[in-house]
């Protein structure tokens, strides 16, 4: 079972919402924690609430590879080798794919997908080299399973994070490093105000901010799950080495319905040319996949 005490954690999007909840939970477990965020004022406020000598703030634009490497260097120089990584930073854009611009794509992909990629590419080699084991948690969303017309780009990034996390889980298991994907529903956070951190360089084609819609979302998010509840459920899932972390139980039945609809789309077709050979190959792939899942559960 994963022990937290004495480890160093690095959390992106750490100045509010889930990230700040994770910081509080990890500090309570005896971890040293670096909270990274693009909002410097939010970092200052967050640090003020975490009166603990084992926490530091790091200004970070997760979309920048160099920024990420520099932030990792600063954190490890101060707190020691990182062995718990939470790629949690995320933004949202509440519009459909066909009503979006290339700059919309580049902005949301840069934070929600490339931000996670940058976190993995920065820290996975360090975790392997340090040899301390550990765990990586990538924040996706229930939107990595369930989607509507909007927010289309957000859905795309979260589906990608889920698939990337599963693949990473199998490659890091032999090194004693666990990987989980966190799939929350509605959270009490500031993600509804994502436009506040949109870079001017990626604003071409951006639609005017609908202040009334933002106000409605702000009110809705007040009923979101408390970050401290999500953090506690996340740490428990890490201890149990679960891949999927579902802190919101209210989605179970809906997800079961979606899975049933997916399976219902299969058809029993007659065997085509090459069927036997193809099935033979797939049998081998299926066995290897089952082995990878089993070993990832047992090793990390």
Please identify every residue annotated as catalytic: 154
- As a whole number of angstroms, the distance between CA 35 and CA 73 comes to 14
Report yes or no: 35 and 24 within 8 Å, Cβ to Cβ.
no
- As a whole number of angstroms, the distance between CA 230 and CA 225 comes to 7
Tokens of 148: 């509507």
Tokens of 246: 């579902």
- As a whole number of angstroms, the distance between CA 151 and CA 173 comes to 33
């Amino acid at each position: 079972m994963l022990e937290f005490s004495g480890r160093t954690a690095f959390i992106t999007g750490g100045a509010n919402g889930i990230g700040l909840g994770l910081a509080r939970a990890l500090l309570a477990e005896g971890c040293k924690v670096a909270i990274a965020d693009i909002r410097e004022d939010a970092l200052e406020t967050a640090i003020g609430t975490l009166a603990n000598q084992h926490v530091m703030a790091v200004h970070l634009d997760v979309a920048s590879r160099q920024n990420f490497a520099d932030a990792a260097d600063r954190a490890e120089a101060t707190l020691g080798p990182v062995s718990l990584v939470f790629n949690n930073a995320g933004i949202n854009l509440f519009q459909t794919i066909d009503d979006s611009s290339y700059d919309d794509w580049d902005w949301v992909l840069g934070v929600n997908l490339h931000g996670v990629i940058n976190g993995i590419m920065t820290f996975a080699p360090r975790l392997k080299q340090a040899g301390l084991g550990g765990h990586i948690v990538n924040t996706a969303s229930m939107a990595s399973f369930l989607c509507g017309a909007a927010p289309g780009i957000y859905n795309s990034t979260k589906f990608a994070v889920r698939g990337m996390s599963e693949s990473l889980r199998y490659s890091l298991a032999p090194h004693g490093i666990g990987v989980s994907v966190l799939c929350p529903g509605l959270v009490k956070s500031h993600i509804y105000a994502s436009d506040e951190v949109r870079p001017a360089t990626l604003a071409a084609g951006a639609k005017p901010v609908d202040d009334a819609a933002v106000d409605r979302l702000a009110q809705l998010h007040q009923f979101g799950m408390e970050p401290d509840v999500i953090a506690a459920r996340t740490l428990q899932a890490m201890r149990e080495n679960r891949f999927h972390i579902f802190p919101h139980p209210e989605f179970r039945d809906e997800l079961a319905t979606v899975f049933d609809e997916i399976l219902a789309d299969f058809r029993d077709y007659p065997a085509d040319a090459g069927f036997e050979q193809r099935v033979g190959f797939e049998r081998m792939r299926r066995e290897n996949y089952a082995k990878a899942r089993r070993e990832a559960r047992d090793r990390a």
